[in-house]
């Protein structure tokens, strides 16, 4: 399975490039609760908190202000990172309508529903976890599987496993996988403190001598996975070779991990991937930093890897434990490490945990070069849920594609955004990203793989430096782009019909399909087949035949225009054309029995 796109948001981090710099520079996301979290007043908690979780462009996602206010911020974050991941994959999100694209989300926290005193319908839909996936599928018009997974801390990696299985089974040919976690109420925090699960200083001292509980964090990650159909000709971030999921079974307690079950799931994933332990270089461990969990996890790895030397680390020491999003946070770290050929350092483990036998295992406490070996760079990735559900995944670096010297020809470049300020931010991000890919690839992604939004900036360049120079000059003196004119569609009434209308348009599959769908509905109600009526002048002179034929023709023509990118902002209808306008607007048209056509 190919990893085609990636996006993330962590405290102080807006994208994967910033995330890599954060890891490489040994930064730490743990901080006191920000003042904006008024629900937390009087609480001395620390963790990986966002400064603000309220910002959201509701109109961009077609939501009213009332709906947006009722929406769990976790769903808002998820929609944003999913959109960014699709664009990173070079896939225009607004071109996926009707596609077999699946949505698989790891999400467990329900703090927002408990905080909201509202009992109206938008609040009910906005706070239920199941709607996180359904809302995204609805917004993009996706027809693939759409589901939310809650297996506690392993949620997002289990969601990733299910997405891979759905792709392999042909249930979808593209999958958006997301994980999100926000701490919006102190209640869960206090409950975890009462169980003794949390560390005293809010950090994860994973595999360190100070491991006595975990620190909590916030974040959202989305990745786009594709089968062969979508992977051909696209940039690939990494490959997923195999994965597995199991449960601890009857361990010493419901929340007590099982080393035997962990070893079993790791072995299952390796067999699914067709690799041996000796072909794995690094394991991104679950590593919460608990006194019980860390020694058990290393013990499980020893059962699988034996004397094979292995690098081990975990992103939780930098971000805190992101719970339902933790698996994807580790996944993103490993993919970036493969791309940069470096394994970033782990924090808060200056002294190794003395209860762990470190023979043949090396904790990454300083950045390590990830040198190529006899096999491609490969890593294992573990995620273990507090409820007992375990997941493990095998990642492999993307295949090396030989680069051809780029030709010095003009490449078209296009940026678009929902607002002018967002357009400026996109330009700033592109300046820093320009040197990471060939200009031809960037041009293809920007022109073909992005949604066409109202505010746009277009230019041409022969190389990276020309493209960068144009952007830097424009950013010094940005000229507001012209908002694209909105399109309206008018649907005529009786008298606009003529024999043979649509005959030439039927060579377009979209028009032909729409016309056939109309015929399937209308033919049982009419005395003549629809396609015959459209061809005969005498038939079109009869009101009872002309009016349904005209509505069918106008509907099919509108579908053709929409397939070409013309999305109407306003719809007008005259006489019988009002029915076609209403149908295109999304209103159901009720057909009367045959006898009533007169």
User: Whose CA is closest to 100, among 279, 225, 238?
Assistant: 225
* 446 vs 457: CA distance, rounded Å: 11
Give kind and range of the element (H or E) at residue 149: strand 146-149
- Residue 100 has phi, psi (to 5 degrees) of -85, 60
**Is 153 a residue of the active site?**
yes
Please pick, among 286, 348, 392, 518, the residue that the annotation labels catalytic: 286
Beta-ladder partners of 352: 208
Considering only CA atoms, give the Rg of the chain. 28
Please pick, among 161, 205, 237, 321, the residue that the annotation labels catalytic: 321
State how far Cα 596 lies from the chain centre. Answer: 50
Q: Is 456 helix (H, G, I), strand (E, B) or coil?
A: strand
- Residue 378 has phi, psi (to 5 degrees) of -135, 150
Q: What number of other Cβ atoms are within 10 A of residue 328's Cβ? A: 30
**Is 286 a residue of the active site?**
yes
| Positive or negative: CA dihedral 269, 273, 274, 280 | negative
DSSP 190: H
Q: Is 523 helix (H, G, I), strand (E, B) or coil?
A: helix
User: Whose CA is closest to 43, among 186, 185, 200, 182?
Assistant: 186
Sequence-distant (6+) residues with CB within 8 A of 590 are none
- Residue 48 has phi, psi (to 5 degrees) of -85, 75
Please pick, among 153, 164, 204, 518, the residue that the annotation labels catalytic: 153
**Is 321 a residue of the active site?**
yes
What residues are annotated to the active site?
A: 153, 286, 321
């Amino acid at each position: 399975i190919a990893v085609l796109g990636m996006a993330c948001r962590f405290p102080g981090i807006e994208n994967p490039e910033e995330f890599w710099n954060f890891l490489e520079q040994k930064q730490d996301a743990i901080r006191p609760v920000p003042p904006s979290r008024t629900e937390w007043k009087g609480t001395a908690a620390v963790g990986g908190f966002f400064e603000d979780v309220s910002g959201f462009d509701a109109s961009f996602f077609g939501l009213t202000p009332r709906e947006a206010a009722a929406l769990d911020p976790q769903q808002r974050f998820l929609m944003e990172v999913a959109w960014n991941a699709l664009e990173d994959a070079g896939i225009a999100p607004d071109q996926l309508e009707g596609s077999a694209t699946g949505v698989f989300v790891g999400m467990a926290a329900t703090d927002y529903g408990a905080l909201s005193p509202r009992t109206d319908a938008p609040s009910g839909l906005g706070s239920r976890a199941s709607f996180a996936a359904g809302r995204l599928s609805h917004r993009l018009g996706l027809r693939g599987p759409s589901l939310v997974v809650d297996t506690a801390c392993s949620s997002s990696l289990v969601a990733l496993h299910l997405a891979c299985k759905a792709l392999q089974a042909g249930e979808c040919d593209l999958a958006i996988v997301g994980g999100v976690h926000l701490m919006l109420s102190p209640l869960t925090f206090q409950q975890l403190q009462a169980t003794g699960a949390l560390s005293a200083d809010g950090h994860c001292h994973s595999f360190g001598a100070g491991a006595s509980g975990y620190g909590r964090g916030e974040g959202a990650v989305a990745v786009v996975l594709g089968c062969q159909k979508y992977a051909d000709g696209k940039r690939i971030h990494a490959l997923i070779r195999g994965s597995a999921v199991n449960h601890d079974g009857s361990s010493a307690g419901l929340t007590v991990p099982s080393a035997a079950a962990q070893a079993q799931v790791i072995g299952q994933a390796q067999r699914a991937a067709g690799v041996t332990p000796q072909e794995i270089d690094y394991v991104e461990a679950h590593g919460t930093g608990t006194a019980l969990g860390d020694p058990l996890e290393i013990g499980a790895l020893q059962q699988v890897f034996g004397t094979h030397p292995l690098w081990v680390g975990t992103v939780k020491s930098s971000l805190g434990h992101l719970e339902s999003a933790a698996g994807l946070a580790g996944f993103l770290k490993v993919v970036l490490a493969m791309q940069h050929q470096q394994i970033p350092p782990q924090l808060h483990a200056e002294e190794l945990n003395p209860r762990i036998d470190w023979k043949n295992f090396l904790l990454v406490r300083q950045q390590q070069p990830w040198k190529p070996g006899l096999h491609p760079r490969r890593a294992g990735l573990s995620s273990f849920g507090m409820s007992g559900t375990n997941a493990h995944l095998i990642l492999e670096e993307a295949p090396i594609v030989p680069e051809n010297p780029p030709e010095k020809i003009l490449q078209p470049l296009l940026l678009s955004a929902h607002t002018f300020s967002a357009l400026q931010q996109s330009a700033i991000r592109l300046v820093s990203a320009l040197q990471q890919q060939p200009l031809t690839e960037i041009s293809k992604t920007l022109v073909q793989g992005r949604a066409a939004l109202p505010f746009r900036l277009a230019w041409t360049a022969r190389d990276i430096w020309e493209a960068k120079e144009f952007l830097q000059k424009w950013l010094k003196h940005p000229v507001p782009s012209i908002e694209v004119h909105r399109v309206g569609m008018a649907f005529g009434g009786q008298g606009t019909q003529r024999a043979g209308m649509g005959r030439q348009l039927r060579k377009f599959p979209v028009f032909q399909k729409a016309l056939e769908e109309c015929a399937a509905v209308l033919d049982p109600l009419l005395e003549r087949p629809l396609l015959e009526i459209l061809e005969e002048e005498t038939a079109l002179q009869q009101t009872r035949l002309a009016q349904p034929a005209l509505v069918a023709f106008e509907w099919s023509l509108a579908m053709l225009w929409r397939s070409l990118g013309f999305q109407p902002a306003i719809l007008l209808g005259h006489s019988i054309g009002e029915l076609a306008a209403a149908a295109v607007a999304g209103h159901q048209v009720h057909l009367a029995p045959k006898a009533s056509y007169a």
